[in-house]
């Protein structure tokens, strides 16, 4: 009943209603006080109920009501004005999310020490602002990751940028990304790790961490076991991480790769939330990068042999010739033709010929020097580019390859063994000033023609 009466509103202002209630209560007390004193104190009735005494009581009650209103307005009103001021400030910040994310301390929070509804209101407001701040930071960090995904189409750049960003926002210090290629785990890219110190066998063993992560499609967070020799290499320092996080990149229920993050201290729950949200978006970017890498590889690689194709080989030849000209360096162009290759196709069939081409390409690929180039020029012809090689170096390298081909046996169906030889023609830069790429090819081709006419399975220099 009393609550319903107090819920009666006179105006649209709570504080004016409070003032009216307090004045009304003061008047009520002023009217009640004379008969109360008459009954309790047994005073003279003519004095107690005189107009002067009653008016004085009403005036005193009204003054007390006004004083109470002033105290309430000062004590409670000031706190609410502080709260309202913070609310208006946050309202202004909402148009600039960066400012909300940076909002903390006296600037945005309300500090009221009170074990009542006022203190609870301030605490709830502070909790709301902190949640808003954390959410804004989360969205900002997610936006940064989305921008990185849109920025990098090439896989190495995408991987490094993702790891580096997690290093910026958390206790993570380093990381790497591994993928399963032809049933073997391969490190795609790393950041902050000395890759030579990674024991891939222990990481990739049956029932190991990578296999568990790949099979479960779930994140694995563990303390680093003592027998996993991974160290974070920093200038002048080597330190072992305290925590390892394995996070799979899952695209349509297929694991494209596994990120391994290393942290010097336990990673926060907020970082794990960002990681989960990021990797749900990363799968598409990762797949696009893989497709880009495959398309790029298809555009420059011969599908049959795995060697670079002629177009890419000629492009690199022009680049290396320009470099050699600027640096006054040597380089050699070697044309290779497989001897009597047509008879292999005629005798054993074209699939056998394809097998011969693949295995010869593997010999070149495994035994040319790092930095040299091998491409399939056409048919059974290969083009080799020996960077920085003099004529003597080029002949020695070519002779070593010629002997390997001569001794190699291609095992075909039904225990058939196919033997083959190759002829080599070499041209070396600089032989004359102003030579171009097509002239080098012509010279190497002419030397190859002489090797063929000279009996095959030999090397000729232009």
Instruction: Kindly report the backbone phi and psi dihedral angles of residue 109, in degrees, each rounded to the nearest multiple of 5, phi listed first.
Output: -85, 155
**When comparing pLDDT for 5 and 55, which is higher?**
55
CA atoms of 322 and 150, how far apart (whole Å): 34
**Taking 50 as the threshold, does the pLDDT of residue 237 lie above it?**
no
Mean pLDDT of the chain: 81
Count CB atoms within 10 A of the CB of residue 278. 22
Residue 236, pLDDT score:
39
When pLDDT is averaged across residues 216-228 and rounded to a whole number, the result is: 76
CATH of span 155-295:
3.30.450.40
Please say if the pLDDT value at position 450 is more than 60. yes
Least confident of 110-124, 302-316, 425-439: 110-124
The 10 Å Cβ neighbour count of residue 5 is 8
CA dist., res. 154 & res. 143, Å (int): 20
Model confidence at 445, pLDDT cuts 50, 70, 90, reads: very high
pLDDT for 169 equals: 84
Share of the chain above pLDDT 90, in %: 28
Most confident of 116-125, 223-232, 263-272, 300-309: 300-309
Topology of 310-461 in CATH?
A: Alpha-Beta Plaits (3.30.70)
pLDDT reported for residue 392: 92
Report pLDDT for 196. Answer: 64
How confident is the model over 316-339, as pLDDT tens digits? 999 999 888 888 899 999 999 999
The confidence band for 398, taking pLDDT boundaries of 50, 70 and 90, is very high
Nearest to 334 by CA among 379, 385, 368, 399: 385
Token output for 223: 């303390």
- pLDDT top residue among 344 and 203: 344
Query: Which of the residue ranges 152-166, 290-304, 305-319 would you say has the lowest mean pLDDT?
Result: 290-304
Distance CA 122, CA 108 (A): 11
Whether pLDDT at 378 is above 50 = yes
149-163, 217-231, 326-340: range with highest mean pLDDT: 326-340
Find the mean pLDDT for residues 137-163. Answer: 82
Tell whether the model's pLDDT for residue 97 goes beyond 60.
Answer: no
Residue 15 has pLDDT above 90, yes or no: no
Domain residue ranges in the chain: 2-93, 155-295, 310-461
Give residue 148's pLDDT band: very low, low, confident or very high (50, 70, 90). confident
pLDDT band (50, 70, 90) for residue 234 = very low
What average pLDDT score do residues 172-191 get?
Answer: 81
Q: Per residue in 37-51, pLDDT tens?
A: 777 766 666 766 777
Closest CA to 214 of 241, 177, 246: 246
105 pLDDT exceeds 60?
no
Q: What confidence category does residue 151 fall into, taking pLDDT thresholds of 50, 70 and 90? A: confident
Q: Which residue in the block uniquely carries the two structure tokens 């990797």?
A: 279
Burial class of residue 348 in the structure, from the number of CB atoms within 10 Å of its CB (0-12 exposed, 13-18 middle, 19+ buried): middle
Alpha helices in 154-229 (DSSP H): 155-169, 200-204, 209-216
């Amino acid at each position: 009943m009393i609550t319903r009466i107090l819920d009666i509103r006179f105006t649209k202002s709570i504080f004016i209603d409070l003032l009216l209630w307090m004045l009304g209560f003061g008047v009520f007390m002023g009217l009640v006080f004379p008969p109360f004193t008459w009954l309790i104190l047994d005073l003279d009735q003519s004095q107690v109920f005189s107009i002067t005494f009653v008016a004085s009581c009403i005036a005193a009650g009204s003054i007390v009501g006004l004083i109470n209103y002033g105290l309430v307005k000062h004590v409670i009103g000031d706190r609410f004005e502080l709260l309202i001021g913070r609310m208006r400030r946050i309202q202004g910040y909402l148009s600039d999310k960066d400012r909300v994310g940076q909002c903390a301390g006296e600037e945005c929070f309300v500090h009221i020490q009170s074990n009542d509804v006022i203190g609870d209101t301030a605490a709830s407001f502070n909790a709301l602002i902190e949640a808003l701040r954390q959410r804004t930071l989360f969205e900002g960090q997610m936006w940064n990751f989305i921008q990185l995904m849109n920025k990098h189409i090439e896989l190495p750049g995408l991987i490094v940028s993702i790891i580096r960003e997690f290093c910026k926002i958390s206790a993570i210090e380093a990381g790497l990304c591994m993928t399963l290629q032809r049933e073997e785990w391969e490190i795609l890219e790393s950041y902050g790790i000395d890759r030579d110190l990674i024991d891939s066998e222990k990481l990739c063993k049956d029932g190991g961490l990578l296999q568990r992560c790949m099979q479960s499609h779930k994140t694995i967070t563990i303390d680093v076991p003592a027998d996993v020799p991974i160290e974070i290499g920093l200038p002048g320092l080597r330190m072992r991480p305290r925590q390892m996080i394995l996070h799979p990149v899952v695209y349509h229920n297929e694991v494209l790769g596994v990120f391994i993050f290393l942290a010097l201290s336990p990673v926060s729950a907020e970082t794990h939330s960002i990681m989960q949200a990021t990797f749900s978006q990363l799968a598409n970017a990762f797949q696009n990068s893989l497709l880009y890498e495959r398309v790029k590889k298809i555009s420059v690689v011969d599908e049959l042999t795995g060697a670079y194709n002629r177009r890419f080989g000629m492009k690199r030849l022009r680049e290396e010739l320009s470099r050699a000209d600027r640096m006054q360096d040597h380089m050699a162009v070697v044309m290779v033709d497989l001897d009597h290759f047509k008879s292999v196709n005629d005798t054993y069939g074209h699939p056998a010929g394809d097998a011969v081409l693949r295995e010869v390409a593997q010999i070149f690929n495994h035994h040319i020097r790092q930095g040299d180039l091998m491409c399939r020029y056409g048919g059974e012809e290969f083009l080799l580019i020996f960077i920085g090689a003099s004529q003597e170096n080029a002949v020695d390298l070519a002779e070593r390859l010629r002997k390997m081909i001569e001794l190699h046996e291609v095992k075909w169906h039904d225990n058939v063994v196919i033997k083959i030889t190759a002829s080599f023609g070499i041209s070396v830069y600089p032989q004359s000033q102003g030579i171009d790429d097509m002239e080098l090819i012509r010279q190497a081709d002419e030397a190859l023609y002489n090797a063929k006419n000279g009996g095959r399975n030999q090397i000729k220099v232009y």
